[in-house]
Amino acid sequence: MTIAIIGGAGFVGTRLVSRIATSAIEYSIFDIDQSKLLENMIYLDVEDPESLDKIGGATSIINLAAVHRDDVRPLSRYDDVNVQGAVNVCDAARKHGINNVVFTSSVAIYGFAPADTDESGEPNYFNDYGRTKYLAEQVYKEWQAEDPDNRTLVIVRPTVIFGEGNRGNVYNLLKQIAAGRFVMFGNGKNRKSIAYVENVSAFLEHSLSFDPGLHIYNYIDKPDFDMNTLISGARKTLFGKTNVGLRLPGFVGIALGYVADLAAMIIRRPLPVSSIRVKKFMGTTQFASSVSDTGFVPPVSLEEGLARTLRYEFMEDNSDKRTFETE
């Protein structure tokens, strides 16, 4: 088996490469971002069909390449990279006789979904990222359906991914806690589905062994923590304390969010607090998954993944290490 890891210099990609590098699997790393060059990385642009000829000789593709940040401009970049990129990857797979593709999609295709939405959930995306991930899935499904007895397609829909070096929503929350600036709004009983990067990369590696067919999985590390458990666990690791700290009623948080919205309008720039962010923080974002049906066992518990991240980011000096912006 020879794997072409597209987007291999990103947050999940680098973790996946570090795992596969210890195995007997042959692999090549492809990425467009030359500022993150790994020693053996090959430049590749999924928007350029000729560039994709570089994956010739591979037997499997893991495609991690995507445009995902909220501030992407122009908005057409979502379609150019996420959708047309998928078309180009499938064309390259056809051209080079590659019959095994793993595609990282996202639970963003479900939008504001009911609690415990599983892989059969209806698409209800609310942004361009979710929309284009859903459209990309359809492109890959069409490719697999052309030769269903021989082609393997694994679509992995991770929830919010966190871990060492990531600069996304979970990091921002943990940073507030570590700085002593966190305030809990509401009763904290709302649950959040999250995923540790080591476990996501381990499942991507595991999925390379699947038989021909279409395989779709949400990826979540279980059990889902409620906010009380997440915050108290973080405070225990950081400070040896097991409470959540300052707590205010939910309506106070929402009111403060509206004040922040008004202030942002006046000063004409976004603030880290908003009414939407407060509502999202207080809401439940919980998904179900059939990953365990594949026999996969996450190598790291969710509790340990959070503890490792907290130690790396706030208790050790890793200022010289790479970081990955994902929000």
Domains and CATH numbers, the chain: 2-161+194-220+286-300 (3.40.50.720)
Q: Determine the residue type at 259.
A: V
What mean pLDDT comes out for the span 126-151? 96
Rounded to the nearest 5 percent, the helix, strand and coil shares of the chain are 45, 20, 40
Inform me whether the pLDDT recorded for 75 exceeds 60. yes
What mean pLDDT comes out for the span 148-156? 98
Confidence of residue 8 (pLDDT cuts 50, 70, 90): very high
% of the chain residues with pLDDT over 90? 80
Q: Which two tokens stand for residue 86?
A: 């998928």
Confidence of residue 324 (pLDDT cuts 50, 70, 90): confident
Contact 116, 287 (CB under 8 A): yes
Confidence of residue 247 (pLDDT cuts 50, 70, 90): very high
Contacts of 91 (CB under 8 A, 6+ apart): 49, 52
Contact 212, 148 (CB under 8 A): yes
Contact 109, 162 (CB under 8 A): no
Compute CA 279 distance to the chain's CA centroid, rounded to the nearest angstrom. Answer: 21
Cα gap 45→231, rounded to integer Å: 40
What mean pLDDT comes out for the span 165-194? 93
Cα gap 15→186, rounded to integer Å: 35
Cα gap 215→217, rounded to integer Å: 7
- What stretches of the chain show up as alpha helix (H) in DSSP? 11-20, 76-78, 84-96, 128-145, 169-178, 197-207, 227-239, 250-267, 275-282, 302-310
Confidence of residue 318 (pLDDT cuts 50, 70, 90): very high
Mean pLDDT lowest for which of 103-112, 216-225, 277-286, 290-299? 277-286
| Residue position matching structure tokens 């008004």 | 262
Order of strands, edge to edge, in the sheet holding 152-158? 41-43, 26-31, 2-6, 60-63, 100-104, 152-158, 213-219
Inform me whether the pLDDT recorded for 70 exceeds 70. no
The count of other CB atoms within 10 Å of the CB of residue 154 is 26
The pLDDT value given to residue 276? 82
Burial class (CB in 10 A: 0-12, 13-18, 19+), 270: exposed
Inform me whether the pLDDT recorded for 99 exceeds 80. yes
Cα gap 326→322, rounded to integer Å: 13
Listed residue (160, 155, 229, 154) closest to 197, CA to CA:
160
What residues are annotated to the active site? 129
Confidence of residue 115 (pLDDT cuts 50, 70, 90): very high
Inform me whether the pLDDT recorded for 60 exceeds 90. yes
The pLDDT value given to residue 74? 78
Residue of higher predicted confidence among 320 and 116 = 116
The count of other CB atoms within 10 Å of the CB of residue 320 is 5
Task: Please state the length of the chain.
Answer: 327
Compute CA 160 distance to the chain's CA centroid, rounded to the nearest angstrom. Answer: 5
